[in-house]
């Protein structure tokens, strides 16, 4: 009764060599753990330098002066002129327009001129005014248009 199992007994334990299996899920877990560790380690090695950056100052509270010269050409040969959007128009004749614009540009400034055509003005009058403004050395010239309707 001593030996319960003998070598010839089919219930006896016989060690056999099993084929090793590589499981993919634990392998992915280990690789991601190593990757995260490497990333965190390399980020801690970098010394981030801080430097002063001069930011622009807002001038929102400062009122800007509108120096635009508005010239309105009418069909009867008169002109209306004003400097700045909020100022009042003054009525001028053709011979006075050149002298008045020359006096506004006498200080060497290069003002912006907005040319406006009244409802009954002809193309010839507008072109004549454009030519006169170009002759006076105006470089920033715009023409105001109205929508059809």
Q: Where are the domains of the chain?
A: 83-115+134-149
Q: Mean pLDDT, 10 residues at a time, over the chain (149 residues)?
A: 60 75 89 94 76 78 80 88 89 88 82 87 88 89 77
Give me the pLDDT at residue 72, please: 92
9/13 Cα distance (integer angstroms) = 9
Give me the pLDDT at residue 70, please: 93
Give me the pLDDT at residue 50, please: 72
Task: Tell me the two tokens of residue 118.
Answer: 């009244």
27/54 Cα distance (integer angstroms) = 51
List all residues 6 or more positions away from 143 whose beta carbon is below 8 Å from its beta carbon.
114, 115, 116, 117, 126
Give me the pLDDT at residue 113, please: 92
Q: State the pairing for strand pair 78-83/140-144.
A: unpaired
Give me the pLDDT at residue 120, please: 81
């Amino acid at each position: 009764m001593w030996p319960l199992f003998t070598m010839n007994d089919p219930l006896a334990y016989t060690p056999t060599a099993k084929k090793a299996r590589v499981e993919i899920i634990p392998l992915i877990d280990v690789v991601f753990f190593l990757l995260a560790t490497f990333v965190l380690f390399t980020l801690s090695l970098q010394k981030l330098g801080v430097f002063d950056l001069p930011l622009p100052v807002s001038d929102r509270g400062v009122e800007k002066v509108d120096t635009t010269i508005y010239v309105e050409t009418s069909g009867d040969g008169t002109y209306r002129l004003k400097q700045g959007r909020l100022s009042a128009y003054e009525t001028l004749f053709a011979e006075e327009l050149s002298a008045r614009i020359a006096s506004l540009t006498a200080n060497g400034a290069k003002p912006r001129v907005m040319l406006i055509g009244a409802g009954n003005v002809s193309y010839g009058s507008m072109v004549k005014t454009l030519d006169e403004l170009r002759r006076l050395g105006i470089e920033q010239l715009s023409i105001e248009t109205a929508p059809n309707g």
